[in-house]
Structure 1
Amino acid sequence: MPEISVRKLTQTFGTTRVLDEVGFTVPDGAFVTLLGPSGCGKTTTLMSLAGFHTPDAGTIAHGDRCLFDAAARRNVPAEQRELGVVFQSYALWPHLSVAENVAFPLKVRRTDRAEVKRRVGEILDLVELGHRADAHPYELSGGQQQRVALARALAHGPSALLLDEPFSNLDAKLRERAREWLGDLQRDLGITTVFVTHDQTEALAMSDQILVMNHGRIVRAGTPEDVYRRPGSRFVAEFLGRCNFLTGKARSTGTGTWLLETPGLSGGIPFDSETQPGPGPVTVALRPEALAVTAPVTGAPAPGWPADVMYSTFLGDHYLHTLRIGPQTLTALTTHPLPTATVRVALAADAASLVTQDSAPHDSIQPAPVLHSV
């Protein structure tokens, strides 16, 4: 199964640049997620890959096959791209049975009748719906409809799978089970997959690589852990969950590391930075779970700073606390309630990372990230 290569995809609707020279490579067998808010360009990118949308400029290749080249006026029709697509609405034929829906792409390709029957049975067993072959979509649950849509996408043996927010119509519990099931299936099949979502939990749980999009550009690319722990910009940090931001002056320790000097946090905050911080104010990001919160021990020296607990919120498997350290207000997570109103706060190793303020839309061209298999 060849890799997917996208280069400088550009699309403008009126005065709005929906895609701004988007470029990336999806390795063979990888699960790559396009993550971002509504209107960021992720679905337009996916539909361009599928052949249902024609960009103004750029190229799309699948292995040694050129699927789209605006300059050369080449645009392979969607039905000839041999890609499996699952739409957000599933797009099942209501008057056809489950088996007939799955068989549809095979019949379009004039597959032999016996082979259609064999392949449909095989795929329905794969998605655990062999017993519902004669049912119609309206007789199925949302999760079952989602699996029928996936079975139909896999029926003709595609070389890659494209998924456009397939879990958005499911409730929270069913969504969790569906993403675990799909992740297992994708790994078993080893099929190259491009997944679109605005849900950061889905992206973090399922992906080999994440491409974060905003204003038609890829603003961050990397593994889930790398993108979460080192977001690079304030937008990415905020989009991927709760985050504390502290601003101050960067000071070199002389050993290749940096400290953020900011009011109320004596001794400074060590932070990561691949480049030398500027001379002006800088901002670092701190995830709430990176704050180690403990009850103070009288007379015992302890790292960190004293903090007042402003209020706490019980969220089932953890507590979210709002803490005041001098002039600073921070949020922290613990698995247990805090025993006192005054606590001690310390930082886990490598807790802070430098973030930049987000630039205005389209004032620069982002590099085309090349993703590597993990």
Structure 2
Amino acid sequence: MDFEFYQQERDFVKEVDQFIRDNYDEEVMDVTRENMAQICDTPKRRAFMKKVAEKGWLGLTWPKEYGGSDIDGVYEYLLNEKLSSVGAPQIGKGVGIIGKTLIRHGTEKLKQEFLPQILDAEIEFAVGYSEPNAGSDAAAMRLKAERKDHGWVLNGQKMFTTSAHFADWYWVGARTDPQAAKHSGITLFLVKMDDPGLSIHAMPTMGKERTNMVFFDDVFVHDDYRVGELNRGFQYISEALDLERFTMFTFSPIKARVNLLVDYVKTTKVNDRPLKDDPVIRQRISQLVTDCEVARLLGLKFVSAAMAGGKPPTNEASCYKLFATELSQRVANATMDIASPGSQLALGTQTAPLGGRAESTYTYTVIDTIGGGSSEVQKNIIARRKLGLPKNF
């Protein structure tokens, strides 16, 4: 594979850079929100995404028959990396998880209803896989869906639904056949978030962001809003998770945090001795910089494999997600260690090293190795699908 970008791709990056400069707003672009900066959870952030849509940058890889541009996935990669580098909202759930799944498996009714709204940035989605006893193990979900008339009645609970308090629609998995094997009997549905049977309860996180518990009490979903074939939801979720593992954990913020740490080490002294002269710190910094290059190339490997195969490559997605998110935590840990006791001061504290980014990065990156499937899940996927190891070993 070629790790260099073509001139047309470099021109696209320049265009995105200019767009960011022309639309800069510190309320919209906030790098201190770390990975949570990607969501459109305020009117201003939604308005920003509308401007992205007006540029024709949503659905870049979608087929033209559905309003997309039908161009290589590298453009989505470059766009997301640029947006994440300034803490701006990114293309994600709607374009990737929901849109691409509907294109592959949705009915014409669902395509006609949702795809244009996604392309115009008129709609936001919440994704409901995790449950109290089914976190990273989506196949263990137990939210019950029972047949009734021309639809389904859903009862149960979801956990860690980050966007539930502002989303318009809920992309949710439910068990439609409790007698089926664990990885079977699950079906995907689209549920209106203002359904009276939904109850949303805030779950504050240590990263000062909000996720949610969502309770279903006799929520009726018409069969028109069932996605794909009955009892094949887990297969669709697996496809979508490969996208999530890549698009939701961009590389640029990790690299930016390493650069911030490098600048701190270059300019800081402890006991009149420059930190940059400490051999232990120099070794640790060099390892992080090297790991950053590995993460960048793993990301490009995913993009290349996706372009060649036509659908998200599982092995490459898990390799990137595992390495990049654990690197993100190593960067956070190193920043806390090197900045010493002052690293515990909160973001914005005037005397805090690195402006308090050490503390905020440390608390935010806790979720990185959990969201989209924990590191343990990624290791199992790599072991079975890449290395050919048996399930029980």
Q: Same fold (TM over 0.5)?
A: no
Structure having the higher strand fraction is 1
TM-score (norm 1): 0.29
Structure having the higher helix fraction is 2
